[in-house]
Amino acid sequence: MKIITWIMLNGASVLAIIQSALKFIKEVLTACVNILYPIIPSDKFKAIVEKVRGFVNMADEWVEKGKKFLVK
């Protein structure tokens, strides 16, 4: 039983690292938009980045659900 608990808690730790990487990617995308938008004021560019950020948010929610499941 201790081995299963150990595996689940380590899995949650790995998911937390993945979640941190996803948040980093989202912030890098936000920085790109903030830097490039005044230079290239394209609504299409902004819409694409917002869709990618939406996907990253969705993936972050999935990872959070998996982490909550493993920590139970």
pLDDT (tens, 9 = 90+) of the chain, 72 residues, equals: 788 888 888 888 898 899 999 889 888 888 887 787 777 777 777 787 788 888 888 998 998 898 888 887
Closest CA to 45 of 26, 25, 29: 29
Please tell me the predicted confidence (pLDDT) of residue 45: 74
* Alpha carbon distance 72, 63 (integer Å): 14
Start-to-end C-alpha separation, the chain? 14
Model's pTM, two decimal places?
0.71
